[in-house]
Amino acid sequence: MKNKLPQHPGELEKLISKEYEGMSKRLKQVAGFVLENPNAIALETMVKIGQQAGVPPSTLIRFARALGYSGFREIQQIFRVALAVKTPSYRDRVRLLEKNYGQDENQSFSPGKVLNESVRSNNLALEHMAENILNKTIEKAVKLLLEAEAVYIIGMRRAFPIASYLVYALRKLERRAFVLDGSGGTINDEISVIGKKDVLVAISFAPYAEESLNAVNWASSQKAGVIGISDSPLSPFASKSSVYFEVKNSEVRGFRSLAAPLCLAQSIIVSLAYFQESSGSKTKGGRLPKHQKKIRSVK
């Protein structure tokens, strides 16, 4: 039984999510801390981890045994191995590349090897996403977008390319779409215009952007639709989203890819385009007025 237990953080996260509802309040507290603080789990002692999580060390041991492990150190080892390829800065990651490839001719660095690793890693992430995201979840997101008067998209830091693509594609479909990027320090003003008949698309991956979470909280308070795209079932975006997509980003030598969430974004757009044309004038939603379409067509 022991050799079947997860030995990778992603697999461990799935196990924790599966067992989460049946855990006691204290064990849920540990579960949340483990998923949100992988580096602390890898680097700190059990005493310090317990202090930070607000539980005694014995609770950490009970948590590990509830998942099938003999002790908490086995869980720490999983995150220690993962940390070896997930260093905090790009400079450190490049140094790690040098150590990993070594001096042996057969293990020397080459861009082709990096490309092959990236392709394999992204293929796995895409296959995982295809297996775990339900058709009805995408349809629900499309329905929200069809009926929205306006669509606001927020994706800070590394999630920004996805937000930019969604705004571009939605406008190509003649939807009223706006990116919230806080230019000039106006992020709170931008968020405040989201209303009940609008939809917010929020994309954020750990460590989660505070601006994105603020936008979700505001949209929820206004009864607006919220489409969340994040990386964990315990993400702060999960519970406040009308539709939530959990997407695992692939990682190569500590560098995380955006292939999977971008693929999801494109799938949503293609589905929206299909249903928009199928429904025709029956579902106008946030379509641009005719005079604005004419203005946009002038080159």
Domains of the chain, by residue range, sit at 2-83, 129-297
Q: Residue 44: helix, strand or coil by DSSP?
A: coil
Helices (H), 133-258: 135-147, 160-172, 187-191, 210-221
Tokens for 177, please give them: 């779409």
Computed over every residue of the chain, the mean pLDDT equals: 83
Which residue is it, tokens 């297996």? Answer: 131
Sign of the torsion formed by the C-alpha atoms of 285, 272, 129 and 133: positive
pLDDT tens sequence across 13-60: 889 988 998 999 999 999 999 988 887 887 788 998 999 999 999 999
Position 63 pLDDT exceeds 90: yes
The rounded distance, in Å, linking the Cα atoms of 66 and 138 is 34
Question: Quick one: 105 exposed, middle or buried, by C-beta within 10 A (0-12, 13-18, 19+)?
Answer: exposed
Query: Stretch 244-248: mean pLDDT, rounded?
Result: 89
Longest dimension (CA), the chain: 69
Choose between 185 and 281: higher pLDDT.
185
Helix (H) or strand (E) holding 269: helix 259-279
Q: For residue 183, give the DSSP letter.
A: G
pLDDT tens sequence across 262-296: 999 999 999 999 998 887 644 556 666 554 554 35
Position 176 pLDDT exceeds 80: yes
Q: Residue 177: helix, strand or coil by DSSP?
A: strand
What pLDDT was estimated at residue 298?
Answer: 36
The three-point CA angle 63-66-69 to 5° equals 85
Position 221 pLDDT exceeds 90: yes
Pick the CATH number of 129-297 from 3.40.50.800, 3.40.50.10490, 3.40.47.10, 1.20.1070.10: 3.40.50.10490
Q: What CATH number was assigned to the domain covering residues 2-83?
A: 1.10.10.10
The rounded distance, in Å, linking the Cα atoms of 15 and 67 is 7
C-beta contacts of 48-54 below 8 A and 24+ residues apart: 53/29, 54/29
